[in-house]
Chains A and B, each alone.
Chain A
Amino acid sequence: MGRPVLDNETWHFKLKSLREEISELSDRSEMKLRHAMVCSSNQNRSMEAHWLLKREGFDVASYGTGQHVKLPGPSLREPNVYDFGTPYKQMFDDLRRKDPELYRRNGILPMLKRNLSVKTAPQRWQENAADGTFDVVLTFEEKVFDMVLEDLHNRKHVLLKPVLVINLEVKDNHEEAAIGGRLALQLCQEIEAAGNWEECVDDLIMNFERQNHRKLVYSISYY
């Protein structure tokens, strides 16, 4: 009755893999969170944050909420418009062909180069249902924040898994994006360190605001 079900060798092998699984499990209990960085075109702000968080070992993805991916063009009225899913590499080649000097000068080419080292192509938030659930969603613009919330609201809440959505307002230029990326990293670190964010989200947000002189807005939704 007390006889082991498996022979010893298999048993030990299984145990080993289980230990790994447990350490993973306990990691999860230490709130190894999944993060999503969202801006409108999934190019600058969200990608800067994505890149930084990825470098720091975070579980992170990034998205845009716009209809299309828009990059500055020769003038305000002539932006370069791509569909989500168009590889960064392709945009890079396209713009380099159009006006290498201009796009190097305005930082678009370097940005695309950075992006294509992070992931293949910009992704649209509204079409990310297959990417699984996130624990923390960081948006970088009020409009994006609204759209993410509206989208989450319209999804069917099956898992009942809470998701914290925070908006950190960041201007859409390279300098601000760099600052915003660092702030995003810091914020995510603090959230992760806090354990259960539910318990302290108000304090956390307010402390962050005080330290960094930034205004945040957060909301809670469910998967």
Chain B
Amino acid sequence: MARDQALSLLAAANNHGDLAVKLSSLKQAKDILFSVEPSQAAELFSYLAELQSSPEPLVRKYLLEVIDDAGAKGSEHLVILFPVLLTFLKDNNPIVATQSIITGTKIFSSVLEELALQFQRRGIVQRWLEELWTGLIKFRDAVLGIIFEAGPIGPKLLSIKFLETFILCFTLDSTEFDMCNPEVIARQGSMFNVSWIADSHPILNPHALMSDANRHLEILLEILLSASKLPGCMTITAVNSLVAIARKRPVYYKTVLKALLDFSPSIEMAKGRHTVSIQYSLRTAFLGFLRCTHPIMTESREKLLKELRAMNAGDAADQVIRQMDKIMRNNERASRELQFSKDDQLSSQLHISGELTKKRTAQLDNENQNNIFEASSKKSRHGPHNSKTTTASDAKQDHVNGISAKPPVLDGDLTPVEQMIAMIGALIAEGERGVESLEILISNIHADLLADIVITNMKHLPKNPPPLTRYGNLSLNHPSDTSDPAQVVGSNGFATSTQSLDHLAQLPASSLSTTSGAVSDTFATANLSTDSKRDPRRDPRRLDPRRLVAPTDMSQTYVVEENVGTVQHPTVEPDFNPVSSSSVLLSAPQSVPEFAPQPLPTIETDINLPDSPMTIEVDEPIQKYEVHDFDANVITPDKDANNYLHLSPSSGKEEDVVSPASMDLAMLDEAYSPSSEASDELPPDIPNVEASESASAELPVLPLYIELDEDHQIRARRLALERIINKYQNSQRTDIKQTQIALVARLFAQIDVSDVIEMAQKLIISDYEEQKGHELVLHILYHLHSLVISDSASSAAAVYENFLLGVAKSLLVDLPASNKSFSRLLGEVPNIPDSVLGMLDDMCTKSHSGADGRDGDRVTQGLGAVWSLILSRPFIRQACLDIALKCTVHPKDDIQAKAIRLVSNKLYAVSYISNSIEQFAKNMFLSAVDQHSSDALLSESAISDRRIGGQVEGAETSTSGSQVSEPEISPDETMKGVLDDSSNIFSQAHRHMSLFFALCAKKPVLLQLVFDSYTRSSKAVKQAVHRHITVLMRALGSSYSDLLHIISNPPQGSEDLLTQVLHLLSEGRAPPTDLVVTVKHLYETRLKDATILIPILSAFSRDEVLPIFPRLVQLPLPKFQMALAHILQGSAHTGPALTPVEVLVAIHDISPERDSLPLKKITDTCSACFEQRTVFTQQVLAKALNQMVDRTPLPLLFMRTVIQAIDAFPSLVDFVMDILSKLVNRQVWRMPKQWVGFLKCISQTQPHSFKVLLQLPSPQLESALSKYPNLRGPLAAYTNQSSIKTSVPRTTLVLLGLASETQMQQPHAVSSLHASDGPTST
């Protein structure tokens, strides 16, 4: 039934027209196939296999999936289906081809596994598996063919992957070394390996297969060789596969690495391929190798690094190395902790050696027997370097007899440094177990803290010279005055771990001394790793042959190996010479000849020292030594001792102690016979002595410890400091500088001698340029400051203050004012004492020596410093601000100007201080306004002045005394002078206001205060205000708008100020509209003073001016003239508001009664106009008069103006006559006020006026003549002329006596009289 179903489904899958039906059928068929009985399945599977020729790629692909499933199930039907894979390899659809390789590869692995396991378990191999294997071999050959055949690339990539799988399967697995990542190993699980195959396997011949694998590797390498012909992605894949093989199978590593290294240059010639990526694949490969910890790979580290650097991948490489180091450390620690948690400490020693052995056995095949000595030699190498450190840190370890490791108790009350020391001690006490943790701990300690630790520890240096020096067991035993036996006992502290492993194993009792050795080992490791971390490449120790075994190196065992030959010798020797220490000592130098030259110079110089006791100059060899073995802990004690020798030739006792020691060292090369004393003094613990002696073969010279009295200590410290500082300058190496800085800082704290400060200052300043001085100063200051904080009673505060002051002054004196160092220093120091502020104050407010013309610069510099301090140091912000503010009222103009610029432009913008600035400015302003309070203010500031100045002087005398400044004028004098007279009041007021007005420029609203206090100000103050406001307004320019509020509501009494402001605002330009509106409003509502309108008059139109014109006339004449100028000037847009003609007319239009103006005012105004002849010209007058003459009524002053006009411009006479004639026609006699003027004008303008006069009717003529009798004669004479007489009415003639009474009645005269009679209405 199932079979039928399956067959029909398969038929459908094969033949149906619809792809969906095909696939669906196939799917169902598959389900059935896997569930039917095996007997039936065989037939069905062969049907299934027929589908391989299906034209649909999807069907073929699905068929592959079925095969995949079958493979995964380990079904024996695979045999039937497998040939399909072979067919599919050549499928024209690359996806199908690719997939068939994938499926084939999977089947390959699983079949191999099955083959191996089946034989292992049952001793036989099933037939189908055998068949399948034959198929797989064919498959393999076909796949190999694909790589180099032309065709799609996808399958080729998989072919390469298949090759990789094949090779991995048939090479011996040694994955344990691929410790890239423990995670990885866990994740990977176990994979088939050729080692699974038993030798007697019927089908699989492991040897043949392994050689196959070799061959296949060559195919992969071949791909690299022919890379130029292949697509880039193939090359990359090949590289990746090779790398995977090399990493998993280190046997191939060298071959692969060589191929890759050879390959890199040939990439260049590639075309049509993405060479960058190919190159990058190499980079990835090398980085990957670096990540591996297998010894073979670590061996080639240098080569890899070089190659990577050449690829510009040095950084990445360094990073990987750092990472690996970290992982290694963590792993080791983890494994150690694991082990130690099980075992107790004693047996752990054995355990470690066991561990080492175990490690070794893994590599036994290629490592030689020297391994036995590796562990011991390694220790003996590291031990000596740091024996001093051990002494230093094992605080209470006076009798370091190997039983040393008493853990200092951790105490809650300890300082951080002490805690640190306690912790280190505890770790040391842990012995071997603590090593890793200690290493990590120390590598994480900041250099500063480390320096602190070492310095603190120096307290605990043994009372007696640490006796163990490089060759120095002699010296320790030798000194004649070995009155103190402890001295000798101390030597054993350095018993290092030279006991070889067999010792160890046999003598568990001695393990404790080994522990101490391990401790020193740790120290070396720690220090080295810390240092080399900074910059491993530049570490000079790398050049030092003694340091070849850098503990940071990953594979210690390997490097150590190089030295085994050398070290091994002395290590073993003690076993044979257990008692005679001297013989060992003699043999030691010989057995290690290459080390001998290294320490010798040092020793010799040590001897030289006493010969030239006063030469303080540093002797080169010592320097060298220091540089070589540079450790913070080495330098200080060493120097103390040496320097002390220089200094105190007189103190004989100490010298005694030292010189024999040095002598001994010098005698080393000579045959030396051990003194009996020495052996007498030998401690009972003989094995330890042996150990120390044999180790001493390479021990560096230990500093001699000498107890100094207080005085000498100080001198020694000073000299040490001096030397470090001297060297500091020359030293180019930054890593050393770092340590030097830390040391100097600490030494400084211990010395309170002022001349040292001076010396330091000089040196620091000279180096300041390179910024290192700065760093040093800060270090010192911070250190001092920390002392101050931790112990308020200490003298550090004074030292701090003196030093800071001194440095600051030197900076000022020695560096140009433009140098920023000064303000940088102040900005970064931990604390600024008052005296420094005083100095700053001095600097800003008083001129310095003056001669060099740098005063101004100094002030600028000082203010600059003040500025940055205000911004960066909140605690002294107020004090600095006070300085700056004080300068703003300084009598010296340039100081004041600078200060004001600073305060108003920079500081005022800072939100948190703007208020206090404003307040200060206000106070000063008000003090200027109200004279009395200003006195108080000034004297107050004078007091503070004195106070600060006094402090500075005090400080100066206490330090170097380098002169900064002398106060020139005492503030009191200044003040007295100021108050002397009013001009001084003015200048003082002006000065005190300056800041305020400068602020007003930033914040015009402040002007309100000026307006408010204006009324009560004295004249001089007002003057000052006016002067300031002029400048201010010009500065404000268009940003006046804030003022509108003030303008719209000026306080009583501030009109003058207001007017000035308005003038200034509209000066030289058209007054802005909003200003005009505001002022107009003000005028209309509150302030009926037309004066305020004057500045804006030019913006007025004709219709606006005319209504207020009388008010303008009412103003005092000068103001009116100003107003007139504005009116006539007008705005650029609209032209003048009024023409001169209109002005004249307007003036005449004013009515004294209506406008309540005294007539006098108007006439004055008129006269004023006439004075401006350039404006009110002849033509203007004529035009104005012409307009006015037709007015009814005539303007009051009309005739007066006419007379004035004719006075001013006599040439107007004809015009005036016309005017007069018109007036006659208008019966001027009926207008009494005009009539008077008319007659006056007639009289003044005779004889021109006779013609007009004659036009008058007789009665008027008569009254005129009666008023001006002197007219009669000339008029009669004029009329009597024949030409005129005829036209003159008879009555007139009669009046003039030129005709009789009777002739008077003349008709035309009557008519003319009538004509002029009508309109008169006066």
Residues of A within 8 A of B (CB): 1-3, 5, 14-15, 18-19, 21-22, 25-26, 29, 142-143, 146, 149-150, 153-162, 196, 198-199, 201-203, 205-206, 215-222
Contact = CB atoms under 8 A, between A and B. Distances in A.
A80 to B, nearest CB: 24
Given A1-B8, A156-B189, A202-B273, 7 more contacts: A5-B9, A142-B316, A153-B244, A154-B188, A160-B101, A160-B106, A218-B274
Contacts of A206: 274
A5 B277 contact: no
Contacts of B244: 153
Contacts of A157: 161
B188 A156 contact: yes
Given A156-B189, A201-B232, A19 B20 contact: yes
Nearest to A26: B58
| Pairs of residues from A and B, 5 with the lowest C-beta to C-beta distance, nearest first | A198-B154, A202-B232, A154-B184, A160-B102, A217-B280
Contacts of B57: 29
B280 A5 contact: no
7 contacts: A15-B24, A18-B23, A153-B243, A154-B180, A154-B184, A202-B273, A217-B280
Contacts of B274: 201-202, 205-206, 216, 218
A1 B3 CA distance: 10
B187 A219 contact: no
A160 B316 contact: no
B779 interface: no
A218 B277 contact: yes
B823 interface: no
Contacts of B20: 15, 18-19, 22
A30 to B, nearest CB: 11
A2 B277 CA distance: 58
A217 B277 contact: yes
Q: Which of B7, B24, B57, B95 has the most CB of A within 10 A?
A: B24
B187 A220 contact: no
Contacts of A18: 20-21, 23-24
Given A161-B102, A202-B274, A218-B277, A196 B94 contact: yes
B237 interface: yes
Contacts of A156: 187-189, 191
Contacts of B154: 162, 196, 198-199
Contacts of B8: 1-3, 5
B1177 interface: no
Contact of B277 (A25, A155, A219, A221): A219
Contacts of B23: 18, 21-22, 25
B1099 interface: no
Contacts of B187: 154-156
A202 B24 contact: no
Interface in B637-691: none
Interface in B180-231: 180-181, 183-184, 187-189, 191, 231
B1098 interface: no
A139 to B, nearest CB: 12
A123 to B, nearest CB: 18
A215 B157 CA distance: 24
Given A155-B187, A217-B277, A160 B233 contact: no
B24 A219 contact: no
Interface residues of B, number: 55
A202 B102 contact: no
A24 to B, nearest CB: 11
Interface of B: 4-5, 7-9, 19-21, 23-24, 28, 57-58, 61, 94-95, 101-102, 105-106, 152-154, 157-158, 161, 180-181, 183-184, 187-189, 191, 231-233, 236-237, 240, 243-244, 247, 272-274, 276-277, 280-281, 284, 287-288, 291, 316
A96 B1192 CA distance: 84
A169 to B, nearest CB: 12
A162 B288 contact: no
A117 to B, nearest CB: 34
Contacts of B280: 217, 219
Contacts of B236: 218-220
Contacts of A201: 231-233, 274
Contacts of A159: 102
Contacts of B95: 29, 196
Contacts of B240: 153, 219-221
A202 B152 contact: no
Nearest to B291: A150
Contact of B233 (A5, A22, A154, A202): A202
Contact of A202 (B105, B181, B184, B272): B272
B232 A150 contact: no
Nearest to A150: B288
Nearest to A222: B161
A2 B244 CA distance: 54
Q: In this complex, which of B188, B277, B280 has the most chain A Cβ atoms within 10 angstroms of its Cβ?
A: B277
A115 to B, nearest CB: 28
Nearest to A142: B316
A45 B23 CA distance: 42
Contacts of A3: 8
Nearest to A152: B240
Contacts of A155: 187
Given A146-B287, A202-B232, A160 B105 contact: yes
Contact of B153 (A142, A150, A198, A221): A198
A220 B233 contact: yes
B19 A22 contact: yes
